[in-house]
Structure 1
Amino acid sequence: MSRFGNIGHRLYTGEVSFDFVGRRRLWTIISGVILVAAIFGLTVRGLNLGIEFKGGDIYTITKPGVTVSQAQKAANDLTGDSSSLVQTASSSNGQQILIQISSAEKVDPTKGQAALTQSLGLSQNQISTQSLSASWGHDISQKALYGLIAFMVLVTAYLAFAFEWRLAVGALVALLHDLVITVGVYALVGFEVTSGTVIGFLTILGYSLYDTVVVFDGLKAATNKLTKQNKMTYSDAANASLNSTLVRSINTSVLALLPVAALLFIGGGLLGAGVLNDISLALFIGLTAGAYSSICVATPMVAWLQEKRPEYMELARKVKQRRAAEAKAAAEGRTLEDEVPQEVTVPAPTGGPRNQPVNRTRNERRSSGGRR
């Protein structure tokens, strides 16, 4: 741990530096490949929407001793295929088995409950049915979309006011990058999208933006009055700022991922908590993508946009000239300081003030000549 702290101190002071900004082409290629795969999954495979979005019936079985395989077989016999979803969940009454049958199967809820009761040997109080309409999921999706649009408008206005519009563009690109990757992973792997997943998607927005703003705050301080020198370009200053906050970004990401991983692998995996599993899975993917984008996407994009400005283009030209002069001086075994001319000091006069001739008029000169 002390070694990691030493590396963090060396990063902060600039003794060690990773060229994140200079490798923006590499990060663009990596992000581009991931985004293409994510968009391919969305367009070709699509999202595996849960029963909240498609509509259907949920049968809850509370009888002890019923296994998932037995419930799955009974559901398959009821629908005539394997489209039904069977999950386990924990409640205050103990372990439960949930059977989800889509409305596309056209199974009457009353007949479905009777068939499952007979197949699994259940009593009337050991099974319950809940019917969901597809309109509920549509309303949730619509409200989530409105919330996303309002969030992005407010974030853009805030970042443009607190920083400037180029930093706002970088933050929004990183934010969309994280959302598309998270949704694309769901499409590629086939994870079910539920209402808990939507909550996880919206939660990603806040964290991704927080991590990016932390980096941008250091960037703003590092590039203040940057054009008054000729040793660093904007990309150099941005990279130095990014390295100084790198350990903080990593620590923040790790501390955020640890409880999410506990929810995902312990709460969802071992305890069978379905809602926790849906939320934590979206958070885990989104937080990982957010940690990457705040370092490798947002800041390199801002540096690219800023160096299109005339003042930073002129700064880059001055830095290039200085570095060429330094390289030439180093090859000749001297430094640029040797070429700086010494300031010439003009010695003050040692004598008193000289007597200046008196400017006399013509009449005065004639009168003085007559007296002589």
Structure 2
Amino acid sequence: MHFKYNIHFNFMKHSKKFMLFSIIVTLLGVVFLFTEGLNRGVDFKAGTTLDINAGKTIEKAKSEEIITTAGLSHGIITPGGERVSIRFDKVLNEAEVAKVKAGFIDAYGKDVSLEENTVDTSLAQELAQKAIIAVLVASVFICIYVAIRFEWRFAISAIVSLFHDAFFTISIFSIFHLEVNLTFVAAILTIVGYSINDTIVIFDRIRENMRFAKVKNYDDLTHLVDASVSQTLTRSINTVVTVFVGALLLFLLGGESIRHFSLAMMVGLLCGAYSSIFIAAPLWAMMKKSSLQKPRKAAVAKP
């Protein structure tokens, strides 16, 4: 089913207010990142994860008791019925893993199975570096693609919008001290894809309208941008709502392992739709303004 919305809003008139809001959130995110940092999961710091299957329901309180009895500091426990995932901020040795397994065997019987996953310091640093490189490389290639298909002003606007979306989502996770792991990186890359898709749809409509419009001054340009955004707004809302509902259902009904991925997706989707309309399009218009004000060179008559 396709829903059509008849929404007309003066986007350019209020663009500076939205940009100011984005700048404030960005600065707040910078403060939290420097003071609090990110709550890195075991994927990005040294540690051990134990996935235990007991064949019967495992209680979280009992798991905590077993860990304490084994003489280990309390790890992050994620219960899931007959399975439980326990994360430790340090690398466990064989004796410590054996103590934990023995504790679960005593509590739940001999059918207990244990899977151990360990990330050492060097691997954690390598994963973190590769995650950053992946986001940067994706952004650079997107910028090149937009520059070739459109023009350099569109490319700059798109890349600013993408970094805004990625950093906004990272800031939310830093402010609320939510765990960041490899699934979070996957969410960021997915967000970048959806955001650039929304942005290109708007840019394509702006470019198409520019071919037939007689833009003589900045007022004409603002009217063109407002019209272009309004013409693509139905498509943007329908796309975001459809994907957002899917991410919301994953967040509510999915397992604990994908909860943060779903949350990052929801935040990023909303932010991507917002930035395409209120950041990318107005920023392009502001840069395009300078070219409208340039006086044309007088034609030189041939002798």
Normalised-by-shorter TM-score class = 0.7 to 0.9
The aligned residue for residue 287 of structure 2 is 305
Give the Cα–Cα distance (whole angstroms) in 2 for the partners of residues 128 and 230 of structure 1: 69
Give the direction of change, closer, same or farther, for the CA distance of 1:284–1:95 in structure 2 (3 Å limit): farther
Following superposition, the deviation at residue 257 of structure 1 comes to 0.7
Following superposition, the deviation at residue 77 of structure 1 comes to 4.8
Give the Cα–Cα distance (whole angstroms) in 2 for the partners of residues 160 and 180 of structure 1: 22
Give the Cα–Cα distance (whole angstroms) in 2 for the partners of residues 151 and 191 of structure 1: 24
Match of 2:24 among 14, 30, 33: 33
The aligned residue for residue 209 of structure 2 is 222
Give the Cα–Cα distance (whole angstroms) in 2 for the partners of residues 229 and 47 of structure 1: 48
Following superposition, the deviation at residue 166 of structure 1 comes to 0.6
Moved more, 25-34 or 131-140: 131-140
Give the Cα–Cα distance (whole angstroms) in 1 for the partners of residues 225 and 47 of structure 2: 53
Give the Cα–Cα distance (whole angstroms) in 1 for the partners of residues 40 and 224 of structure 2: 46
SS in 1 for 2:276: helix
Do residues 118 (structure 1) and 100 (structure 2) align? no
Match of 1:247 among 209, 234, 237: 234
Do residues 293 (structure 1) and 275 (structure 2) align? yes
Do residues 173 (structure 1) and 160 (structure 2) align? yes
Give the direction of change, closer, same or farther, for the CA distance of 1:313–1:240 in structure 2 (3 Å limit): farther
Following superposition, the deviation at residue 200 of structure 1 comes to 1.1
Amino acid at match of 2:98: Q
The aligned residue for residue 116 of structure 2 is 130
Give the Cα–Cα distance (whole angstroms) in 2 for the partners of residues 286 and 169 of structure 1: 20
The aligned residue for residue 12 of structure 2 is 21
Do 2:48 and 2:89's aligned partners in 1 also have CA atoms closer than 8 Å? yes
The aligned residue for residue 85 of structure 2 is 98
The aligned residue for residue 59 of structure 2 is 67
Q: How many residues align?
A: 293
Q: Deviations over 1:128-161 (max 9, x none)?
A: 1414123333333333333223222221221111
The residue correspondences of 1:1-372 to structure 2 (distance < 5 A) are 5=4, 7-8=5-6, 11=7, 17-63=8-54, 64-78=56-70, 81-82=73-74, 84-89=75-80, 95-103=82-90, 107-115=92-100, 117-118=102-103, 121-134=107-120, 135-227=122-214, 233-267=220-254, 273-309=255-291, 311-312=292-293
Which of 1 and 2 has greater Rg? 1
Q: Deviations over 1:65-101 (max 9, x none)?
A: 421122123334545644x100023xxxx63111111
Following superposition, the deviation at residue 248 of structure 1 comes to 1.4
Structure 1: give runs of 5+ residues left out of the alignment: 12-16, 268-272, 316-372
What TM-score, normalized by structure 1, do the two folds share?
A: 0.72
Give the Cα–Cα distance (whole angstroms) in 2 for the partners of residues 299 and 208 of structure 1: 13
Following superposition, the deviation at residue 231 of structure 1 comes to 10
Give the direction of change, closer, same or farther, for the CA distance of 1:299–1:314 in structure 2 (3 Å limit): farther
Following superposition, the deviation at residue 297 of structure 1 comes to 0.8
Give the direction of change, closer, same or farther, for the CA distance of 1:228–1:278 in structure 2 (3 Å limit): closer
Moved more, 286-295 or 135-144: 135-144
Give the direction of change, closer, same or farther, for the CA distance of 1:278–1:19 in structure 2 (3 Å limit): same
Q: Deviations over 1:292-345 (max 9, x none)?
A: 111111111111111121x35679xxxxxxxxxxxxxxxxxxxxxxxxxxxxxx
CA RMSD of aligned residues (A): 2.6
Do 1:75 and 1:99's aligned partners in 2 also have CA atoms closer than 8 Å? no
Q: Deviations over 1:255-290 (max 9, x none)?
A: 1111111111111xxxxx233223222211111110
Do 2:157 and 2:280's aligned partners in 1 also have CA atoms closer than 8 Å? yes
What is the aligned-residue identity percentage? 26
Do 1:109 and 1:129's aligned partners in 2 also have CA atoms closer than 8 Å? no
SS in 1 for 2:290: coil
Following superposition, the deviation at residue 116 of structure 1 comes to 5.4
Give the Cα–Cα distance (whole angstroms) in 2 for the partners of residues 121 and 231 of structure 1: 74
